[in-house]
Amino acid sequence: EAQVTQNPRYLITVTGKKLTVTCSQNMNHEYMSWYRQDPGLGLRQIYYSMNVEVTDKGDVPEGYKVSRKEKRNFPLILESPSPNQTSLYFCASSLVAGGLYQETQYFGPGTRLLVL
């Protein structure tokens, strides 16, 4: 089944304790992206990747890191989480990047993070 998966789905952690949220897609998509969703703010893009080893900042990259060593995986790293990073996080992927138009993005199930 074609899908985007994320792990963990729920996470409670404490300030400053490094964590990684994994994202994986089995659709051979070139493009992957991370968003955070907060009430009243919609979805805001954190980082995106056009292909292996190619990543760039979205609108809210502060406090986050990403890597794209393999086409299927795009982990989100919080080196020193803070309470303002408490949010619902979504990973998404689409077939290609670099064309004239954005391609349809397929979202993962989401990861709910609470930083105490």
Partner 1 sequence: GENVEQHPSTLSVQEGDSAVIKCTYSDSASNYFPWYKQELGKRPQLIIDIRSNVGEKKDQRIAVTLNKTAKHFSLHITETQPEDSAVYFCAASLDSYKLIFGSGTRLLVRP
Residue numbers at the binding site for partner 1 (CB under 8 A): 31, 33, 35, 40-45, 48, 50, 56, 58-59, 90, 96-105, 107-110
Query: Which one, 49 or 85, has the nearer CB to partner 1?
Result: 49
Place of tokens 């709910």: 112
State in angstroms the smallest separation of the CB of 80 from partner 1. 26
Rg (CA), the chain: 13
Query: Which one, 6 or 14, has the nearer CB to partner 1?
Result: 6
Helix (H, G, I), strand (E, B) or coil at 80: coil
Which residues make beta-bridge pairs with 45? Answer: 35
Query: Which one, 40 or 69, has the nearer CB to partner 1?
Result: 40
What DSSP state is assigned to residue 70? S
State in angstroms the smallest separation of the CB of 8 from partner 1. 15
CB 31 within 8 A of CB 89: no
